Amino acid sequence: MASNRAEQALVEQWRGILGLHARTQCELDRALHGHGLCASDFEVLDLLAEGAAADGGCAYRVQEISERVHLSQSALSRLIGRLEKDDLVERAMCAEDRRGVRVALTAKGRALHGEVRPVQRAVLTRMLAEGD
């Protein structure tokens, strides 16, 4: 009997996490839409901004990004294609591995990231405080 209650509590906790994630994702998409981004777009820009070299050079290979933003490589490739079309990122061949592709923010991407970062952080602050 006690194990059933513990199991049910575990399942309810898991469902709460999923619900918080879904609500937060929707709020992020709404807040970022006016800037021409969705939550996944911003995650890629944010990751690239965090890892950007001082000279603004390429920081991550596509495979490394997919591991950090929890998207399949094909979904990420499409997302990067959209960001590249909007001149927010650029792709370049890896110097150390010609089969690999590195992605970097453009000046426009850095500027947009700087403008939108406070919006994203405010949504996270509000939504995650509700989850407590």
Q: Where are the alpha helices (DSSP H) in the chain?
A: 2-33, 39-51, 62-69, 73-85, 107-130
pLDDT tens digits, 13-32 = 999 999 999 999 999 999 99
Indicate whether this model's pTM tops 0.95. no
pLDDT tens digits, 32-84 = 999 999 999 999 999 999 876 555 555 688 888 988 998 888 899 999 999 99
